[in-house]
Amino acid sequence: MKLNELNIMQASKGLQNGEFSSVELTRACLDRIKNTDDKIKAFITVTKNYALLQAEKADQRIKAGDEKDNFLLGVPCSIKDIVLTKNILTTAASKILNNYIPPYDATLITKLKKAGMVMLGKVNCDAFAHGSSTENSDFFTTHNPWDLKRVPGGSSGGSSASVVADQCLYSIGTDTGGSIRQPAAFCGMVGLKPTYGRVSRYGLVAMTSSTDCPSIMAKNVKDSAVILEKIAGKDKRDATTLNKSVDNYANLLDNYNIKGAKIGVPKEYFTKELNNAVGDSVKRAIKKLEELGAEIIEISLPHTKYAVPAYYIITPSEISSNLSRFDGIRFGYSETGKENSEAKNLLDIYLKSKGEGFGSEAKRRIMLGTYALSSGYYDAYYLQAQKVRTLIKKDFEDAFQKVDLIIAPTSPTVAFKIGEHSDNILEMYLEDIFLSAVSLAGLPALSIPCGFAKPENGDKEMPIGMQIIGKPFDEKSILGIANAYEENANWSKKKLSV
């Protein structure tokens, strides 16, 4: 096995036992990036020298000893280009930030640096995380390593592609309305979106502040548990983080008892939109959990069908406010000082900087949000959507009176072809039908591989994902049951070739 193909726990063991160094592990990843990324196109920026420097430092710390339980020390990762990294280009995959150098680190980066992370580079996504395929990146589309003609999912598609192609051992992305769970499903790996407020948002390029969650992309459940422990916790710089105890999630996995766990299966998530092969795989996985001792209970989440419409009012509304800061004045793409500029006054600078700097989807969402919040329409759109959101949240609260966890498909289909949905905005938005409700309710959820299927318009088997949804701040039960399933149905053993 090549070093870059290891998972976090395997790599950490090898590093601590002196079988190989972090520099060697990092070089293996950099070589893999060099040999495969012209096809996959996961990385916007590869930080080769910086990575090797961090690896050297990690090797010194490993030699000094005393950090055997610090599993991330010296382990290489990729970071979605929407997370601010001090002094390293951070673009949010957008033209308007194509030259932006952050003056500070996101809190999660500060925490990972302390743990001894080795960052290989910044990976692609839909611009400002607006999308489900990376096709909205202002630079290029990332390709799914299982079938290069297909999308890796989105918005965190660079994260999912880089991990499943063994270019890195894990990745940090964000999930606002499914942007970790869906690409995790499309690429066949574990994607964990923590509870809203569990991980600090400080230093993310903000999209929808009320649902943005820094999230985890990993090769297996235990790895994602290890990462969560490192990045979770209250942060004085994000007032929405809560002072909840952060558990040693990886240790708790082994103590989890699936016997008697009550699992809810919502009937609204098994409708005609769901592809048969995907539905069958998820049902087989649920059967498996039943065999392992879980109790399966059919439940109803009656407001499910209103989640996507509510999401596509609330999200653009918050976007129209958050993206107003990109105005060509303080940083980023600007009309200011341009040769042959026709800008005569300050207003022209705004109009032209935004008009040329934003891509189509960002413009579309800003426009939609501006309209929904504008005088005369606020009550009918935004306020009504926030009320419906209360009902969606209450559906889950009622369900969690009866069950401990909820299981549903992550996406209605396997990864679609590049270009398949790009002409139809609504088709793309409906990619989120099984994802938006969880985001609006702020709940934790994890997507785990549960099978493979050949799509009707393709010749390669593509991964299928299953979503495990938990009560607020109960990531440990999600991880526990996911781990129990993974041990008994190891889909992640299937390997791809690029």
Partner 1 sequence: MPENKKITLKEVEHIAELARIELTKKDQEKFSDELSGVLGYVEQLQEVDTKNVKPVSQVTGLINVVKEDVAEDFPEDGREIMIKNFPEEKDKCIKVKQVM
Contacts of 209 (CB under 8 A, 6+ apart): 201, 240, 318, 322
| Exposed/middle/buried for residue 358 (C-beta within 10 Å: 0-12, 13-18, 19+) | buried
The nearer residue to partner 1, 239 or 457, going by C-beta atoms, is 239
Q: How far is 292 from 428, CA to CA, in rounded Å?
A: 36
Judged by CB under 8 A, which stretch of 14-22, 116-124, 140-148, 232-240 contacts partner 1? Answer: 232-240
Q: How far is 48 from 26, CA to CA, in rounded Å?
A: 9
Judged by CB under 8 A, which stretch of 116-124, 180-188, 234-242, 477-485 contacts partner 1? Answer: 234-242
Query: Within a 10 A sphere around the Cβ of 16, how many other Cβ atoms?
Result: 17
Q: How far is 162 from 180, CA to CA, in rounded Å?
A: 13
Closest by CA to 227, choosing from 125, 75, 92, is: 75
Is residue 300 part of the contact set for partner 1 (CB under 8 A)?
no
Closest by CA to 254, choosing from 39, 20, 476, 30, is: 476
Q: How far is 280 from 274, CA to CA, in rounded Å?
A: 10
The nearer residue to partner 1, 1 or 347, going by C-beta atoms, is 347
Is residue 386 part of the contact set for partner 1 (CB under 8 A)?
yes
Residue 159 falls in the annotated catalytic set: no
DSSP state of 380: I
Shortest Cβ 306–partner 1 spacing (Å): 6
Is residue 491 part of the contact set for partner 1 (CB under 8 A)?
no
Contacts of 342 (CB under 8 A, 6+ apart): 348, 352
Is residue 260 part of the contact set for partner 1 (CB under 8 A)?
no
Is residue 363 part of the contact set for partner 1 (CB under 8 A)?
yes
Residue 224 falls in the annotated catalytic set: no
The nearer residue to partner 1, 193 or 222, going by C-beta atoms, is 193
179 and 173 Cβ atoms separated by less than 8 Å: yes
Which parts of 64-93 interact with partner 1 (CB under 8 A)?
Answer: 86-87
Residue of 34, 35, 242, 454 that binds partner 1 (CB under 8 A): 242
Shortest Cβ 316–partner 1 spacing (Å): 9
Beta bridge partners of 449: 465
Is residue 50 part of the contact set for partner 1 (CB under 8 A)?
no
Residue of 34, 35, 271, 380 that binds partner 1 (CB under 8 A): 380
Closest by CA to 264, choosing from 293, 291, 301, 292, is: 301
The token pair at 97 is 């930030």
Is residue 102 part of the contact set for partner 1 (CB under 8 A)?
yes
Is residue 364 part of the contact set for partner 1 (CB under 8 A)?
yes
The nearer residue to partner 1, 89 or 292, going by C-beta atoms, is 89
399 and 392 Cβ atoms separated by less than 8 Å: no
Judged by CB under 8 A, which stretch of 37-45, 158-166, 248-256, 371-379 contacts partner 1? Answer: 371-379
The nearer residue to partner 1, 133 or 334, going by C-beta atoms, is 334
Residue 171 falls in the annotated catalytic set: no
Q: How far is 455 from 458, CA to CA, in rounded Å?
A: 5
Which parts of 342-361 interact with partner 1 (CB under 8 A)?
Answer: 343-352, 354-356, 358, 360
> Going by DSSP bridges, is the β-strand pair 118-123/76-80 parallel, antiparallel, or unpaired?
parallel
Q: Peptide bond before 321: cis, by omega within 30 degrees of 0?
A: no
Judged by CB under 8 A, which stretch of 174-182, 267-275, 376-384, 409-417 contacts partner 1? Answer: 376-384
Kindly determine how many residues on this chain lie close enough to bind partner 1 according to the rule CB under 8 A.
78
Shortest Cβ 87–partner 1 spacing (Å): 6
Which parts of 2-31 interact with partner 1 (CB under 8 A)?
Answer: none
Shortest Cβ 290–partner 1 spacing (Å): 32
The token pair at 179 is 């942007």
Q: How far is 444 from 349, CA to CA, in rounded Å?
A: 41
Q: How far is 106 from 199, CA to CA, in rounded Å?
A: 11
Point out the catalytic residue in the list 41, 80, 111, 476: 80
Is residue 150 part of the contact set for partner 1 (CB under 8 A)?
no
Phi-psi region of 441 (alpha: psi -120 to 50; beta: other; left: phi over 0): alpha
Residue of 16, 210, 275, 422 that binds partner 1 (CB under 8 A): 210
Which parts of 420-459 interact with partner 1 (CB under 8 A)?
Answer: 425-426, 429, 440-442
150 and 418 Cβ atoms separated by less than 8 Å: yes
The nearer residue to partner 1, 35 or 329, going by C-beta atoms, is 329
Shortest Cβ 336–partner 1 spacing (Å): 4
Residue of 71, 312, 400, 485 that binds partner 1 (CB under 8 A): 312
Residues marked as catalytic: 80, 155, 179
